[in-house]
Amino acid sequence: MRLLLNENVPIETLESLRSVGVDVRSVRLDAPGMSDRDVLAWARREERVLVTFDKDFGELAYSAGLPASCGIILLRIPPPRESRGCVALAALIAARGDWPGHFAVIEPGRVRMRALRAV
- If one counts the domains in the chain, the total is 1
Is the distance from CB of 74 to CB of 107 less than 8 angstroms?
no
d(CA 54, CA 72): 10
What is the reported pLDDT for 68? 75
pLDDT of 66 > 80? The answer is no
Is the distance from CB of 3 to CB of 29 less than 8 angstroms?
no
Residue-wise pLDDT for 76-111, tens only, equals 998 887 778 888 899 999 999 999 999 999 999 999
Domain that holds residue 71: 2-115
Residue-wise pLDDT for 7-59, tens only, equals 999 999 999 999 999 999 999 999 999 999 999 999 999 999 999 999 999 88
Task: Return the CATH number at 21.
Answer: 3.40.50
